[in-house]
Structure 1
Amino acid sequence: MYSHTTQDIRITVQPYYLDDQSSPSEEHYVWAYHVKIENVGERTVQLLKRHWQITDARGCIQEVRGSGVVGEQPVLEPGESFEYTSGTPLAAPSGVMVGTYEMEADSGERFDVDIPPFSLDSPHQPVQLN
């Protein structure tokens, strides 16, 4: 599990390999990742946008940008959290993901929250540092 807090917003990510959706013989590897976004501060915030950088073991980089997460732009009151699960395919048996969420406080201030880098490792190769 990977966790990081930026400006009172804690992001925790748990990736897991999806063997039933992967086909190593066709160089197709799929992971899901579960994200928990917690407002541990004293102001209300809304998640507006996401930005991911996904790098596979071969150095191929994918950039993903968009509004919200899983079709939502959740509002988090102090003490509230939002959880979702998403996924990503790679053409290599390992990689790393990192990113940011753009948030807006109830004051109108916008700020980025860091998503901690997390490793995507398949059981089809020896574990390596990404």
Structure 2
Amino acid sequence: MDDVSDPVIVVKVHARYLSDHPASQDQKFAFAYHVVISNLSNEPVKLLNRYWLICDADGKSMEVEGAGVVGKQPTIQPSEQFEYTSGAIIDCPVGSMQGYYEMQRKDKTTFRVPIEVFSLAVPHVLN
């Protein structure tokens, strides 16, 4: 990573509980999360890697990292978006996720795009 100004990349995430998922019938809680990655810069960027920290309300945490997302390493052109849906299973009805994407500029230098904490919660569990 270097000191060059990072392109403006915005990440928005929406999570939902999957009550009909088999794990949700087996003392676990399954969630889908839909991600929209917007490239607001004037240069293309390639999503190389992902890192997630998944935590549940019982204090259990799990780290997930690897190449790309949903089997892809997309290049996102200026003013374009990339969307995907994935999932997570946790051991209690409330948790959270956060992390980052490692992106690559056209000149092959890399930078990280943080993904803010978002909640995983079964509806009506929280007051």
Q: Distance in 1 between matches of 2:123 and 2:68?
A: 31
User: 1:98: which partner in 2?
Assistant: 98
Tell me the residue number matched to 2:80: 80
1:34 is aligned to 34
Q: Given residue 122 of structure 2, which amino acid in structure 1 is its aligned partner? A: S
Deviation at 1:124, TM superposition (A): 6.0
Specify every segment of 5 or more residues in structure 1 that has no aligned partner in the other structure, as ranges. Answer: 1-5
Q: What SS is found at the alignment partner of 1:19? A: coil
- Structure 1 residue 109, shift from structure 2 partner: 1.6
Deviation above 4 Å: which 4+ runs of structure 1?
Answer: none
Q: 1:59 to 1:7 in 2, by over 3 A?
A: farther
Q: For residues 109 and 47 of structure 1, what CA distance do their matches in structure 2 show?
A: 12
Counterpart CA distance in 2 for 1:79 and 1:55 is: 33
C-alpha separation between the residues in 2 aligned to 1:119 and 1:92? 13
Contact 2:49/2:102, CA 8 A, preserved across alignment: yes
**Does structure 2 retain, via aligned residues, the 8 Å contact 1:56–1:94?**
yes
Task: Tell me the distance in 2 between the aligned counterparts of 1:15 and 1:9.
Answer: 20
Whole-Å separation in 1 of the counterparts to 2:46 and 2:123: 37
TM (norm. structure 1) is 0.88
2:100 pairs with 1:120: no
> Would you say the 8 A contact 1:7–1:113 is kept in 2?
no
Deviation at 1:27, TM superposition (A): 2.1
> What is the Cα-based RMSD across aligned positions, in Å?
1.3
Counterpart position of 1:63: 63
Distance in 2 (alpha carbons) for counterparts of 1:106 and 1:61: 35
Contact 1:93–1:124 (CA<8 Å) still a contact in 2? no
Give the structure-2-normalised TM-score.
0.90
Give a deviation string over 1:40-91, Cα, whole Å, max 9, x none.
0011100000000000010100000000000000001101110000000111
8 A contact 2:7–2:43 mirrored in 1: no
Q: Distance in 2 between matches of 1:121 and 1:69?
A: 23
